[in-house]
Structure 1
Amino acid sequence: MIIKNKTILITGGGSGIGLEAAKQFLQLGAKVIITGRNQEKLNNAKKTYPGLTVIKSDAANAEDAITLFKQIKELGGIDILYHNAGVLSPVLNLGITDDKHAESAAYEMEVNYLGVIRLNNLFMEMLQSRREGAIINTTSLLRYVPSIVEATYSASKAALGFYTQSLRKHLQILNSRVKVFELLPPLVATEMTAERTDKKLTTEQFVKEFIDALKKDQYTIRIGDTKVVYLLNRFFPKFAYGLVNPKKSYKLLQ
């Protein structure tokens, strides 16, 4: 995958992994558009990296998706659609009736799964018209092994993982030029993981490894601990489950 002179749309690009990716893509000569629901974060990103184009858009909102597509079309379109936006709602009491639990799960699916499909459907024709178009879906190591305290998040990423595999194969059967990548982060140091005390990969290192794999057309991009969890889950699933769900996780449920 050639990065230079590509136009890349990054959802959830106002901070964390998305903003770091925007920075590194700009350094490689790409044009970058970031979206997010927080206008203040977008404004700060623009001040830090004036070359960015910023558009406020909520990944959970179907009307926002249509508006975003129209705005991007007016700007001349994109070559790469990078789905980075994601939400996580830890739910500790799965066995107890709780309306908030269901609402959180629905929101996670709306952002992490359905929002991705909406944008892919809207932008597919545009991406297919490009010499080298691409879709990057961000799943997680939890799509292989579920977390007992992040169960619905794990489920949303598993759904996205299966969809990504099927979409890639479908487009290959149709001889489409659109490449479909699955990006599987380990635990990365972002706002979402601020309270976690486990070992974390820096956003800078994560994005560097991600882009290196993207350049090589590595369609399934496993980074850091994701590689380990993937292999262990294939051959020693109980051990992998224990690594993802250590005893301290059980204490949170009591």
Structure 2
Amino acid sequence: MNLQGKTILITGGASGIGLEATKQFLAIGATVIITGRNEEKLAAVKRAYPAVIAIKSDVSKEADAKMLFNEVEKLGGIDILYNNAGVGVSPLNLGIANEKHFEGAVYEMEVNYLGVVRLNNIFMQMLSTKNESAIINTTSILSIVPSIIEATYSSSKAALSFYTKSLRTHLEIIKSNIKVFELLPPVVDTAMVAERDGKKLSPQHLVKDLIKGLQKNKYTIRVGDTKTLYYLNRFFPKLAFGLVNAKKYYNSLK
């Protein structure tokens, strides 16, 4: 896929992976529109990168999604929708089978899954009018093997992964020009996991591999440890589960 000259909308584009994607897509000659809930962060990105178009919007809210579409339409539309925004509720403070646990699950599902489906539905017709267009959905290494302390987060990403595969096949059957990519990151060094120890992939590395995958039309883009875990889970699922759920995490539940 040729990315130069394309217009890309990045949700959650003001920080973390989204911000790094903004930088790298600008560098290869794309027009970048970012959206997010934090107006101050959006403004900061706009100051640092004046070419960026920033629109405040919450992907989990239907009214915001419609407003976002209208604003993007006024700008001439997009070629690529990059569903990067995602949330994770800290599992150690919630426990299991209580109201807070349920509220966290709802929040994760609204942003990580339902918000993506909503935006894809809203922008589908616009994307279909382009000669070459794409949807990028960010799932997770935990959509392959779940984390016992992040069960609802893992579930939201697994739901998105199944949806992404189904959407891709559906669009292929109807001979749509919209390409559907799935990005599966491992643990990435962002504010979301700042308090965690252990190996973390840099956002720079992740986005670099994402761009390579897009350019090669590689529809499933597994990066870093996600590649290893994918194959390990196929042949040694018990071992893969144990690697994701190390004993130190079990102990944190006691």
On whether the aligned pair clears a TM of 0.5, the verdict is yes
Number of the residue aligned with 1:75: 75
Do the aligned residues in 1 keep the contact of 2:95 with 2:101 (CA within 8 Å)?
no
Amino acid across the alignment from 1:64: D
Query: Retained in 2: the 8 A contact 1:90–1:151?
Result: no
Is 2:158 aligned against 1:173?
Answer: no
Partner of 1:109: 109
Alpha-carbon separation, structure 2, partners of 1:47 and 1:251? 45
**Residue aligning to 1:153:** 153
- Asked whether the 8 Å contact 1:131–1:177 carries over to 2, the reply is yes
- Letter of the structure 2 residue corresponding to residue 211 of structure 1: I
More off after superposition, 197-206 vs 232-241: 197-206
Q: Which runs of 4+ in 1 moved over 6 A?
A: none
Q: Using a 3 Å threshold, how does the CA distance of structure 1 residues 122 and 232 change in structure 2: closer, same or farther? A: same
Q: How does 1:85-100 map to 2 (within 5 A)?
A: 85-92=85-92, 96-100=96-100
User: Percent sequence identity over matched residues?
Assistant: 64
2:141 aligned residue: 141
How far, CA to CA, are the matches of 2:198 and 2:39 in structure 1?
31
CA RMSD, 1 decimal: 1.0
TM-score of the two chains, using structure 1 as the length reference: 0.98
- Alignment check: 8 A CA contact 2:11 2:18 kept: yes
Q: CA deviation at 1:91?
A: 2.4
For 1:151 and 1:231, the matched residues in 2 are separated by: 22
| Contact residue 60 and residue 115 of structure 1 kept, 8 A | yes
Looking at structure 2, the residues matched to 195 and 78 of structure 1 have their Cα atoms a distance apart, in angstroms, of: 36
Gaps of at least 5 residues in structure 1 are none
Q: How many pairs were matched up?
A: 254
Letter in 1 for 2:128: Q
AA in 2 matched with 1:192: M
Q: Which residue does 2:123 correspond to in 1?
A: 123
Q: Post-superposition shift, 1:97?
A: 3.0
Q: Is the 8 A contact 2:9 2:80 kept in 1?
A: yes
Partner amino acid, structure 2, of 1:24: Q
Q: Is the 8 A contact 2:94 2:100 kept in 1?
A: no
Q: Which amino acid aligns with 1:56?
A: K
Structure 2 portions without partners, runs of 5+: none
Quickly say closer, same or farther: Cα 1:108–1:77, change in 2 above 3 A.
same
Q: Which residue identity lines up with residue 104 of structure 2 in the other structure? A: S
**Are the aligned partners of 2:88 and 2:108 in contact in 1 as well (CA < 8 Å)?**
yes
Structure-1 residue corresponding to 2:66: 66
Distance 1:27 1:233 in 2: 36
Distance 2:41 2:95 in 1: 37
TM (norm. structure 2) is 0.98
Residue type of the partner of 1:49? Y
Q: Give per-residue Cα distances to partners, 1:131-153, cap 9 Å, x unaligned.
A: 00100000001001000111100
Q: Secondary structure at the match of 1:82?
A: strand
CA contact (8 A) 1:10 1:82 kept: yes
Letter in 1 for 2:24: Q
Distance in 2, matches of 1:26 and 1:80, equals 14
Aligned partner of 1:68: which letter? L
Q: Please state if 1:203 is matched with 2:195.
A: no
Letter in 2 for 1:30: A
* 1:95 CA drift (Å): 6.9
Q: Give 2:47's aligned residue.
A: 47
Q: Distance in 2 between matches of 1:96 and 1:176?
A: 43
